[in-house]
Amino acid sequence: MSGMRFDEIVFVDNFFRSPDNALPSYPANRQFLFKAFGLPAGRLGLRCREVHARSEGGTLDVGAMMDALALPRSAAGWARTCVADLAPLLDAGLLPRLTPNQLVIGWGMPPSLMHWVDRQGASFIDIEISPVRFASHLAFCARTNDRQIEAVLAGWRIDEEAFWNEATATHGYFSRRSASQLFHRGLRVGLFCGQSAIDLALVRDGRIARPIEVLDPVRELARSVDLLVIKPHPYEPDLRHLAELAAQIPNTAWTDANIYALLCADNVEFVCGLSSGALHEATYFMKPAVHLIASDRNSRGHLPASCSDWMPVGPGIMSLEALAGIVASASDMPPRASRFPDDALDRAFALRWGRDAQNPGLVTPPVPTLGAVHDLRAAGPARNWLSFGWRTIDGAGVLTAGERACVVIPLEAGSLAGASFLHAHVEGLLSAPAAARRPLVRAWIDGHRADVQAMPSGGVRAKVRLDLSIRLNADPAPRVLVLEFEMAGDGRANFELQRLGVRPTASPAASAAMPSAASAIAVMVALIFLGVFSSALLRASSADPEAEVTGAAQWTQIKSTLTTPVEWVRDDLHLLLRQHRG
């Protein structure tokens, strides 16, 4: 092909995000661009090369770059590079010089790299996967500083109406596979979407934004609904940045439900987040979206003046015809290709969150029988209360899947009439390796820290009973009860949730109320064990500090037995016998 504007294509990524800055990198994205565009580029006679960090086999000394910019080799330093002036790196010979005959194609380029290209008179295309991922096929979003390239990209632009049609199809899909309400009919819900803790979209003014920094606007949003539900990013295991925010807002719960089932839920009134791509998707589901930060990567004040807006484009921009149009002189523009595989990106990326066929949608949790004990060791409707952080084990009930888990129980209107307190009794098993550091489980009820139980010293498995209660001050009464559990102990503790009961009462002391016969049996048995064990426990505690810790745990177990429904007592006595023999 004659009359080409470029003789070389340079492929880059955000190379400051590398092991040099103690951050994981994703070279597969750059390598994908190199291979996908490299084939048609070779057919056109164009040279291609990758430019990337030396720590990943490339030529760029990122560590030396950080030192030259006087920035720390850390996540904080990486965030600063996103908007830094990289001219000193050119002067020091740490960055390659470019010419107008070179085209740079980058994956997720920060503003600083766009300026590096633009100020040298070269052209760039910034590409990544479109944030709209509910469509039948993945698409790109792209932007450029070159008007001719912008015109070529516009020829492959996906019409906005196509996304609306896909949203309509998604609504239809979940209407047949999902409950139409999240948790409870009539419950007003807001959704907070989490992100990866290290994300270019979180960089604001050269710093990584954290959810706690937007506490005030989130708190105000939470006041406008009954429940603010947190949906963590499925690929981000560290929940501390979200837990920090949730701890300051009492009416929060957690969910790991399908994001598109959540967007289809009739009672979700808004979607908020720092800068999650789900906020962009929410508009197609007629949900108000609240962007809580303006990220540097999309701030006009940080971008080159010549940079176009993002546009959604199909995978056809990787075709020979598209690339020929990009590199051709204005008088030698080829016609657009008639066809390119719609599923080209689906094949390359294989999976995208939210399109999991194994997650059919929202479930309908049952209203509990107040005062009854619900067994979660067997499959049944009560398991629909498990909103986040649980995994089922055949024959052994449900276990926590990580360090945090949540239970949401709907309450029937009028069921709490005359009650001043609401109590939840939780039974299960806490397990951890013998070497785990102080494993324990903490519990919250409707955002209030309520109870904690630690593993007896040296144990690997311990019976847990948590007694949680709240005063019912709200008018009207709450529509749901939210229980949260946090595991501690080097991240290796597991809590097996076995039984759960909810009981409204008129006074705090009434939480122990049971049918008189059952109460008499429970108290009598517990008192017998008090008499048998108390002197032995006291003797042990006076002689051995470790035994004192164990004795205190057993004493708590005995006292708790006095206020336990009779059907739970037998297991507790067996546990006490085993501990005493040990």
Q: What is the rounded CA–CA span in Å between residue 181 and residue 172? A: 15
The b-or-e profile of 72-107 (16+ CB within 10 A means b, else e) is ebeeebbbbbbbbebeebeeeebbbebeeebbbbbb
The pTM of the full predicted model, rounded to 2 decimals, is 0.85
Beta bridge partners of 510: none
Q: Where are the beta strands (DSSP E) in 209-267?
A: 227-231, 252-254
Q: What is the pLDDT of residue 337?
A: 52
Name residue, tokens 């016609």: 335
CA dihedral (464, 465, 467, 468) in degrees, to 10, reads: 50
Alpha-carbon distances, residue 76 vs 62, 80, 198, 199, 208 (angstroms): 15, 7, 10, 12, 7
Taking the alpha carbons of 530, 536, 537, 542 in that order, is the dihedral positive or negative? positive
Tokens linked to 109 = 């380029």
CA distances to 143, 210, 297 from 202, rounded to whole Å, are: 19, 8, 9
Which strand (E) or helix (H) includes residue 142? strand 140-144
pLDDT at 559: 43
Cα(121)–Cα(103) distance, rounded to whole angstroms? 10
**418-450 per-position pLDDT tens digit:** 888 999 999 999 888 877 777 888 899 988 878
476: preceding bond cis by omega (within 30 degrees) = yes
What pLDDT, in 10s, does the model give residues 73-99? 999 999 999 999 999 999 999 999 999
For 186, list phi and psi in degrees, rounded to 5.
90, -5
CB atoms within 10 A of CB 409: 22
Low-confidence residues in the chain, pLDDT < 70: 1-2, 330-338, 351-359, 395-396, 457-459, 474-476, 490-491, 508-582
Q: What is the pLDDT of residue 335?
A: 56
Query: In the prediction, which pLDDT does 521 show?
Result: 32
Contact 77, 21 (CB under 8 A): yes
Check residue 181 and give its pLDDT.
96
pLDDT at residue number 438: 77
pLDDT at position 520 is 34
> Residue 558 in contact with residue 533, Cβ under 8 Å?
yes
As a 3-state breakdown, the chain gives helix, strand, coil percent values, each rounded to 5, of 35, 25, 40
| Cβ–Cβ < 8 Å for 235, 198 | no
Q: List, in order, residues 6 or more apart from 53 with CB less than 8 Å away.
A: 15, 18, 19, 20, 25, 60, 62
Cα–Cα dist 576/561, whole Å: 11
Which pLDDT does position 526 carry in this prediction? 35
Return the CATH class of domain 179-291. Answer: alpha beta
Q: What DSSP state is assigned to residue 445? A: E
Class of domain 365-511: mainly beta
